[in-house]
Each structure stands twice: as C-alpha cells, then as structure tokens.
Structure 1
C-alpha cells in the first residue's frame, strides 16, 4: 500500500502543479482530474485447442487505477495546456499456467504483482484547431482505442485535430511508439493479420512510424456523415478507409446505417511481405423505446485477412472481443438486440445479446472454415445511495470454430470514477 500511496501522490502532485501554473495563466476553470477505479475478473476456457499453445485456461483478477488530468488553456490567441495520465495495476489473483489474459504483464510464466506507467502530453489550441504531442490515446477508424482490459494502451506521438469548417473534422498525426495494455515499456508498433495458418505471421516486423490523415464530414443536421482516411504503418502496410453513416427518424423509430470499406496493401520496403486485403461491413439498426435491433454483414476479400496495428481492434460491425470474423475470404452475419431497462422504470440497467456466424474461410488446411459466437452483456450503474455511480458489467461468451480454438469466457468488471477537482 505504501507503494500505491507514493504512486497516487506523484500523480496528484503532477496534476496540482499543472493546475497552479494554469491558475497563474488564468485558465484553472478549465482544469479537471478524475480517478477511475476498475476491478477486473477475466476467465477464459479453451477446448479443441488449435496451435502450439497447450494452455487450457486463462484466469486472472486485478485492480486498476486510471488517473486522468486535463488542464484548460492559457489565454491569448494560442492557448497552451497539458494532459497527465497515470496508470497503475495490482494483481489480486493469478497462477502459473493461467496467465496472459491481457490484464497483467507476464515474466518467466508468472504475472507481475504490480505495474504502472505515467505520461503527459503538451497541447496547443488556435481557434478550433488543437495539437497534442506526447502520451496519446487516439480513437480513430484506422487506430481504434482498445480499452478492453484493466488499463488502456497508449501511444507516443503527435495528433492534430481541426474543426474550422462547420461539419468538417480534419485529423492528422504520427505515432512513434506504443505502450501495450499489459506493459510498462514503450515499443515499436507491429502489424497484426487475421491468418488462420500463421496468426503471428507479420507480428515480428515492427515500425516506429504510424502516419494517418483523415476527414469526416457531417451534414443533414448531423444525421449523415461520410469519412475518408489514409493510414500507413511505415514499410509494412498502408490502408484506406471509407465510411458512411446515416440515421433517419420515422415516427417512433430511428433507423440507422453504419457502413465502411477498408483497402489494405503492403507499403514501402514491404518488410512483412506482400499484403492484400479488402474488408466491407454494414450494420443496420432500428431503435424504438428501450429496444435497438441490429443486422450486420461483413465481407473479407483479397489474399489476406484483415490487417491492423496490434494488439488492437477495429471498427467493423462484426468484430467482437473474442472472434474477429475477418479471416481470408470470410463472410459473416450478425443479429443483435440491445435493451435499456429505463423504459421499464429501471434506469442504469442495460443488456446486449448478439450472435455472429461466419463461413467461407480459407483455412489453408483443405477445408472451409466456419465459426460462430454468442455474447451476452449485462451492465448496471447504481443510481442512488452510498454506491451511486458504481458500475457493474458481466460478459458471457461462447465461441466455436472448426479451424481455431473454441472459447468459453466470462468477464466481470466493477468500476467507479471519482472526480478529484
């Protein structure tokens, strides 16, 4: 606990130091700091194991702390500020042979007792354009913020966002390194490809340049938007992404479409070899009262499965936290139902039930690959009383395949955010 106290003291000192400087500059009103407490239990059982890893179970329990300080901006034509992020995780339960859940670092087959890291980003704003340099958590179609475990991954680099023209948002940036969700180190970025024969095929090739440029334009009173993005993991792959979103109210219903197309190829010196992938997805939704119904389709074309920065996820409609449904040649369908129990007088309680099935996978083993996954999510945020604001979330997963390992999974997450100032 003394170590924990020292960590928090350092975070608070950094935040308060920035706040004092901000007050001298006259923008303390724009500063705030939060501390999120996240208790995470992860259990995954494997059967019909495919591959060289014989591990039959992953099970770990950990406590995380996320300190997030964001200053306001100095006065004047160029506003300057700083963001501070502190991350700290503690092992509550783990054992040899049950590690590698993504919650905790692993050394010599054992999970670390504790780990943490701290970073800061300088920021400057002119009009409606902002530049950040330092520790970043980008959430982009070509680099999704995968906050799916105890602590979030971060990147080190520069990001520019401009909204000078009504409805148009322009973004550009370069990431130079990353700190993974279960690591304290900075490292170069690697490519991840959905390859049934060799999933780690391009993971050993790394780059210290991830460049991106993107534009999103919203119109029709923000009910319609289109996007165009270009990304490059230097000397490994380049990727273009086109998106279309629309929402249409019809009586008591709201119908919506989220569709996108990725085109990915090898780039520069092509150190990971020739790459070729095209991925198309469409997710239709219909919302009425507390109900939202979804129907999704996803199609993978080209010589390879979907390509992205590891260890990350992507914004495609049928991508789930367990199976991705993005192997070479795969065609997948999704049905999903979300419900907000506030419609029944129980605010704070929500549920998600979804089923995805895929086929036509080129397994490289002489037969067609097929897979399916069923997810159930239940979440509740306490609305009143002593525990107001405490969030509880349970995820239960069953995933089956004829070419990859079967999975049964449970996650239980308890979270609470304290507003410090």
Structure 2
C-alpha cells in the first residue's frame, strides 16, 4: 500500500499533469476581496440526558449560547491564487449547568482527593476558540493550512454539539478530472467541541487520503483512509445507487463499511475481551434501501460488526463524528459482534403547505452484542426529530431543530461498556447572518 506521503504527492502531480475536462476554478477567480465572504451563526443549544436506573445527580444537562464566525477571502487572480481566513466561536452558558457533561460545555479542572480531575468541575461561564487558515489554488486543486472543520468519513469533526470540533493541519482537494474528487492531508491537532486547548487529545499526526467518483447521475463510489500515528489505521468504502421509478419515485441502495486496525496501547471503547492490545481489529458495514415517493421516504437498514473489538471512534483524535453509517443516532449500534436493523420514516411537509418543515422517526434494534458476561446483549432506540427552516423574509434560513431519543439496553452492556437507559432531548435554534 502506498505511504500517506506518496498519496499526498500524487494529488499534486495529478493537478500538474492531468488535462482538465472543464473550466479551471482558479481562472474564474474574481479576486482576494471581490470573492470574500463573512458569516455568523448564532446558536442557542440545549441537551438533556435523563439517565435511568442511576443515582440522582448523574444526569447531564447543558444550556448555552454561541456565535460561530467565519471570515474568508477569495483567491487572488493569476495562475496560482492565494487567500486567508479565520473561523471561531464565542460562547456563554445559560444558567448554572451544574450537571454538564455531554461534550457541549467545557468544564473546569476539579481537585478530587488532591488529584486534578478533568471534566469533573463546574461549567465555564464563557469561552472562545478558533484559529486562522491560509489557502492556495492552482487550476482545480486547492490547499488549505490551518484550523479546519473536516467532513471526511475517516476524520470527521463532531458538529452535533453547540460548536464544532476543530482540526489543525493541511488538506489538499483536487477536481482535475470531471466527476472525480481526490483529497490528501495531514493534521497535527484535534480539539473537541467542549475543549479549550487546541490539542487536548495530543494528536501526533493523522494522514488522510481518499477519492469520490460520480459514475453517472445515479451511481457514486468512494474510498477514504487514515493513519493516525501510534493509534490506528482505518479504511472506508461507500457505493450509492439511485434507481429512478415511475411518477418521479425512486429506490436508493447504499453500502458503506469500515476496516480498522489499532496500534498497541490505543483506545477502543468496546473491550477486546481478553485479546492482546497489539492485535485488535474491526470490520463494520451497513446496507440500506430507501424508497421515496413524493414527500414520503422509508428506509430499511442492516448493520453488522465483526472483529475482536467493537468499532471505536473519536477516542484516538480520529474525529468525533467518524461513523458514516445509517444506524447512528444517540447510540451507534457498534458493540462487539453487534448486528442491528432499522426502520426509518421521513416526511417533508412542503407538499402539505408547510415548506421548510421536516419530520423523521426511526426505530433501531441491536442484538448479538458480546460483553464480559453474555454473548447476546441487546439495545434499542426510538428516535424522533422535527426541524423547521424559515424559507423567506428577513428571517430566511433561521431554523429550529428538536430531537428526542428513547434508548434502552441490557444491563451487561450498559455496565461494562456503554451508557445506561437514557431519554435525551436536543434543541438547537440557529440564526445565520451573512456579513458580506
């Protein structure tokens, strides 16, 4: 297999040698100032986890307000264009938040029995994070260095909390061949949503590479890989095919899967149950089928986990959202040897005179989980989400999202590896503002 450094070099060579099949993005640049953009997203966020069968005071609840800013220049004109920008967020808590602890609000370091204990103290009253980046573009290939929010299946920033997870490093993205996107990069810092320091996860370096190709209007395929130094090697594949039917109906098939091998001493949340820490691996895959007719869509999905440990992500500075699989809500249904099935229904109320209103419900059932005490532990989740986005007027794109999960599992899985029975609410009110 090619080294990550060789893959990065391959992207640059491709940009220089491959003749493009369409107009150059850089040739269409209007300028550093002319293409500049500035936005602020004001978000009010609330998460409440009501944990059942545990002593009072263990529940997690967070309530806070933030402003997420992105100021980005265009590219200078010429054969090679250059630009720069900043991203960041400034937040403050609403109320005491004495039971915060769901990765949304940073907490002071507390002293327990004379020992500093991270995440056990009071929630910060206010905090800010962020950083800058520089960028360059040649033809249809761009390079960005600095603070970034990643959306790569093997290295993905968690964006489901108040503020996003940040990575610091370099990412190359190439579109030199029509319908083909190739990426390669290296990242050296990782900052969770509830962390103040830019590298609390002590990421030494993470190489990432991959490609996505659109074969035609209905079929796409992709592959991505990452090598997190002294932690893990992970590979991801996906194929998606949409079959058009009569009356504008459609049937979409999607396959996705991961293969992971951990280095000795790396963290894996689902125990290897006695296997040596230098020999841990996992395969997890899923197949889904979605039928869409008018405003209605129904999805059936099956997901299966194999290997001598469960699928673990986010623990080795590999991204708190690096699980691009269908059976992922409050639970990810990724326990050791676990199998799971899902039924999901989605309704777009636009067809009934309420454009911008969307409702999703799903039920996921998991079984065959291997724990220290049994070989067929089970879990289940009933998920509901309603989201409304304003379609026009002065408040255009303002949105309210309300999400509820009812989660239950067997005691052997909860006690040894995972969360207890939990009812979770998430409410996010977003107001986007375009500055320029």
Q: TM-score range by the shorter chain?
A: 0.7 to 0.9
Structure 1: unaligned runs, 5 residues or longer: 1-24, 190-205
For residues 57-94 of structure 1, what are the alpha-carbon distances to aligned partners after superposition, in whole Å with 9 as ceiling and x for unaligned?
A: 11121001100112110000000001210211110023
Report the Cα offset of residue 248 of structure 1. 1.6
Q: In the alignment, which residue of structure 1 is the partner of 2:343?
A: 335
- Equivalent residue, structure 2, for 1:141: 153
| CA displacement, residues 328-363 of structure 1 (integer Å, 9 cap, x when unaligned) | 000000110111100111101101101100000001
Deviation at 1:164, TM superposition (A): 0.3
Q: 1:230 Cα deviation (Å)?
A: 1.8
Matched, 1:238 2:245: no
Q: How does 1:355-370 map to 2 (within 5 A)?
A: 355-370=363-378
Is residue 161 from structure 1 mapped to residue 173 from structure 2 by the alignment?
yes
Structure 1 segments, 4+ long, off by >4 Å, are 269-272
Which has the higher mean CA deviation after the structures are superposed, 307-316 or 364-373?
307-316
Corresponding position: 1:64 with 2:66: yes
In 2, distance between residues paired with 1:233 and 1:131?
A: 20
Instruction: Indicate yes or no: 2:380 matched with 1:372.
Output: yes
Other-structure match for 1:410: 425
* Residues 18-417 of structure 1 aligned to structure 2 (within 5 Å): 26-49=31-54, 55-96=57-98, 98-107=99-108, 108=110, 109-187=121-199, 189=201, 207-221=203-217, 223-251=218-246, 252-267=248-263, 273-274=277-278, 275-310=280-315, 312-313=320-321, 314-320=323-329, 322-384=330-392, 387-402=395-410, 403-404=413-414, 405-417=420-432
Given that 2:31 and 2:74 are in contact with CA atoms closer than 8 Å, whether structure 1 keeps it comes out as no
TM-score, structure 2 length as denominator? 0.82
CA distance change for structure 1 residues 227 and 264 in 2, over 3 Å: closer, same or farther? same
Distance 1:101 1:188 in 2: 17
Contact 2:342/2:363 (<8 A) preserved: yes
What's the CA shift for 1:131?
Answer: 0.4
Structure having the larger proportion of residues in strand: 1
Q: 1:329 to 1:382 in 2, by over 3 A?
A: same
Root mean square deviation of aligned Cα: 1.8
Which 10-residue stretch deviates more, 370-379 or 137-146? 137-146
Q: Residues of 2 paired with 1:389 and 1:238: CA distance?
A: 39
Deviation at 1:29, TM superposition (A): 2.0
2:130 and 2:399 map into 1 onto residues whose CA distance is: 25
1:272-321 Cα offsets, whole Å, 9 max, x none, are: 5332100111121111111111111110000010132336121011111x
CA distance in 2, matches of 1:388, 1:171: 33
Q: Distance in 2 between matches of 1:164 and 1:209?
A: 27
> Which ranges of structure 2 fall in alignment gaps of 5 or more residues?
1-29, 111-120, 268-276, 415-419
Which string of whole-angstrom CA distances, capped at 9 and with x for unpartnered residues, describes residues 79-123 of structure 1? 000121021111002343x11122211113210000111311100
Q: Structure 2: how far apart are the matches of 1:387 and 1:164?
A: 38
Q: How many residues align?
A: 374
Query: What SS does the aligned partner of 2:351 have?
Result: helix
